[in-house]
Each structure stands twice: as C-alpha cells, then as structure tokens.
Amino acid sequence: MDKQSHIQIHETAFFTSSFRAFNEALSGDEYAKLWLNPKTDAWIQEYLTEVSSEETYTHCLRNRFFLETIKDLAASKQIEVLINFGSGFSMYPFLLDESLIHIEIDKPEIVNYKASKIEEWQNEKKLPKRDLHFVGVDFSEDYKTKLLEQIQQIKGDKPCFILIEGVLFFLDKAETDGLFSFFNLIQTDGDYVGSASFQDDLKSSTAFKRLLRFLNKKVSKTSESDYLTLQDSYYKSLPNYNLIDHQDYFSLSKTYNNTIHLKPDLILNEHFYVLKKQLQS
C-alpha cells in the first residue's frame, strides 16, 4: 500500500496500539495493551519527546470516533460487515458487538502475525471469539480483482463499513484515487466509508517538521512531498458518496472532554470523515 522508500505501515502499527493503550478511558480500547512491548515503548517515548507529546490523545480520539460511529451503525442494523484496510494491530472486532463480520486486510506478514497472536490470546481467554477473516495482500502487485472476489465471498450482499486509517498519509494521489474507486466497486447504496487523513496546512506546522526529522533519523530518508494531504473538497467530490460527518482532533476533544495541552502548531491535527454511498437516481 505504501511505497518502498516510505516508512512501512507495519512499523507504525505498534505505535498506534500503544498510544490507544495509554488512555483506555479516552480511546475506548481495553485490549490495545496486549500489543505493548519494551522496544516499542522506548521508541514511543522518544517520539513523544521529539515530535509531539499530544500524539497519545490524537490517536485515542481517532479510535474513539470510529469505534462509536461503527457501534452506532451496527446497533441500528445499518451495517453487518466491517472491512478494515490496513488494519494493523487495531482491536475493533473485540470492542464491537459479536454479530459483526470482520474482514482485516493488510500485508501478509501483518495479518499472519496478528492472526496467530489473536488465536493465542483467545485460547488464554484474554479475548472473546469473533467472526474474523484475515486477508493478506501484496499491494505492490495487481491485487484488486482477486481481493474483490475474496471480499465478496465473505461479505455477500450484507451492508458494510470500510475503514481506512493511518494509511493515506503514506500513499500518493493516484494510489488513493484507486482505493476509493475500489471501495465504490465493493459497496452498494447505503454503505459507509470511514477515512482519516491530514490537510495541507499540516506541512507548514512545527509538528510536521519534527515528524519529518524523526522519520529521517529513525526510519528512512523522505521529504515533505512523500506524504499525502487531502482537503475536504476531495471527499466532497468522490463519485457516488456523500460526506455526512467530519471531525478533527480539536472538535473531538470538545466532544469527549479531552484537555488539549499544546498550541495548534505543535499538534499533528488529523481529520476524520464518514462517507455514505448514495447512488444518484
């Protein structure tokens, strides 16, 4: 899903889980702590110091927003399947009603490791059983035809929610356009997409400059142009989809009574979108 020269998505997957575990009351995630490990913890402390100490809360609120959104849609019987693109080590299946079907899509090494750990924790009674389907995909190949078949075999004609978070930042515009076209193929009228991305003004912030410096030092050499930002207009212009909700770190902080500790320039302010597929009559 991401270019080889970029930071690999799986290298950040433990980060996200760890951030969510640091404040379970805010993230709503009681299981993220299962992924905690000393190596990641050392990296995170350095990251919070060198990039932005607000990152714990931004990740918690991202999880909380999508968790509550999906939970409400499932309760009202509007969705029966959650398809998580670039699922990493997120734990949504165990935080949601057991009736939901889950399709977790990521690189083979990610989903294989995740599947083995989840089976281990379920055997130890640390996690409840869920209807889980892991799909490993080599995104460097022409994967869409086969993946569409795999998804349809599991999903059938059930209404679904597609979630894509922590991914688009590492793609280019053409790859992102291709993904949303693919979502359109998967989904039918009334289905939903949840997406997380940053806006253009991020790149002028001190927080982004610190992030770039950290990644260049710790991971691989990249530049500002390697990271994708999207404006609201991108989501509003997607064919067959209507934008029905848009939040960011600051609006969600008000909703969930989160205290913001830093100035806006020192925060990586992520935006969160919910789209509903509505075919034009």
Residue 218 forms part of a structural domain: yes
Percent of the chain with pLDDT over 70: 95
Report the DSSP beta bridge partners of residue 277. 241
Residue 3 forms part of a structural domain: no
CATH number at residue 254: 3.40.50.150
Residue 250 forms part of a structural domain: yes
Residue 92 forms part of a structural domain: yes
pLDDT interval class at 12 (50, 70, 90): low
pLDDT interval class at 2 (50, 70, 90): very low
Compute the distance between CA of residue 55 and CA of residue 51 in angstroms, rounded to an integer: 8
Compute the distance between CA of residue 90 and CA of residue 101 in angstroms, rounded to an integer: 15
Q: Of 92-106, 210-224, 242-256, which gets the smallest average pLDDT?
A: 210-224
Pick from 21, 47, 15, 23: nearest CA to 34: 21
Q: Of 213-217, 246-250, 258-262, 270-274, which gets the smallest average pLDDT?
A: 213-217
pLDDT tens-place string over residues 125-152: 999 999 999 999 987 778 899 999 999 9
Query: Residue 11's pLDDT is what?
Result: 53
Residue 212: C-alpha distances to residues 192, 215, 241, 270 (Å): 32, 5, 33, 16
Residue 1 forms part of a structural domain: no
pLDDT tens-place string over residues 223-242: 898 999 999 999 999 999 99
Residue 183 forms part of a structural domain: yes
pLDDT tens-place string over residues 158-174: 999 999 999 999 899 99
Count the domains in the chain. 1
Residue 80 forms part of a structural domain: yes
Backbone angles phi and psi of 139, in degrees to 5: -75, -10
- Residue-range definition of the domain harbouring residue 155: 9-277
Query: Residue 43's pLDDT is what?
Result: 86
pLDDT tens-place string over residues 175-202: 999 999 999 999 999 999 999 999 999 9
Residue 2 forms part of a structural domain: no
pLDDT tens-place string over residues 23-81: 999 999 999 999 998 888 888 999 999 999 999 999 999 999 999 999 999 999 999 99
Q: What is the pTM of this model?
A: 0.94
Compute the distance between CA of residue 236 and CA of residue 244 in angstroms, rounded to an integer: 10
Query: Residue 3's pLDDT is what?
Result: 40
Compute the distance between CA of residue 219 and CA of residue 222 in angstroms, rounded to an integer: 9
Q: Which two tokens stand for residue 276?
A: 């509903």
Are 271 and 198 in contact by the 8 Å Cβ rule? The answer is yes
